[in-house]
Amino acid sequence: MRIKTIAGVEERLAKVHLAIAIAMLGVWRIWLYFPFCVAVHLFLVWLTKRDENIFLIYTQYSRQSDVYDPWVRIDRKSKVKRPHGFGRDILC
């Protein structure tokens, strides 16, 4: 599936970047932001070329990052338990 791009950048990333650039350059008149804006745009173009779904991947990760817990916990309320001999009710 092809992703819609604006100036070589994934659409949602381009809109966010454009909004920040307009705020910095147009509203607050921070002209020193322009070289940084160009560098960020080139970085976003590189990211989009590398993986078109980078924004989708990041949003999925940001939603799931708090869910993953690498530590073993003894959860006696859980209905799905490991079988005996496969780490059931032991911490390590």
Q: Where are the alpha helices (DSSP H) in the chain?
A: 11-21, 33-50, 54-64
Residue 66 is predicted with a pLDDT of: 61
Residue 29 is predicted with a pLDDT of: 87
Residue 46 is predicted with a pLDDT of: 96
Residue 7 is predicted with a pLDDT of: 93
Residue 38 is predicted with a pLDDT of: 95
Q: Tens-digit pLDDT profile for the chain (92 aa)?
A: 788 999 999 999 999 999 999 999 988 888 889 999 999 999 999 999 999 888 888 888 777 756 656 666 666 666 666 666 666 666 65
pTM of model > 0.75: no
Print the domain residue range for 35. Answer: 5-64
In-domain check, residue 33? yes
Residue 50 is predicted with a pLDDT of: 93
In-domain check, residue 40? yes
Answer for the pair 4, 11: CB distance below 8 angstroms, yes or no.
Answer: yes
Identity of residue 7: A
- CA pair distance 45, 55, nearest whole angstrom: 12
In-domain check, residue 80? no
- CA pair distance 28, 8, nearest whole angstrom: 26
In-domain check, residue 91? no
Residue 65 is predicted with a pLDDT of: 54
How many domains would you assign to the chain?
1
In-domain check, residue 28? yes
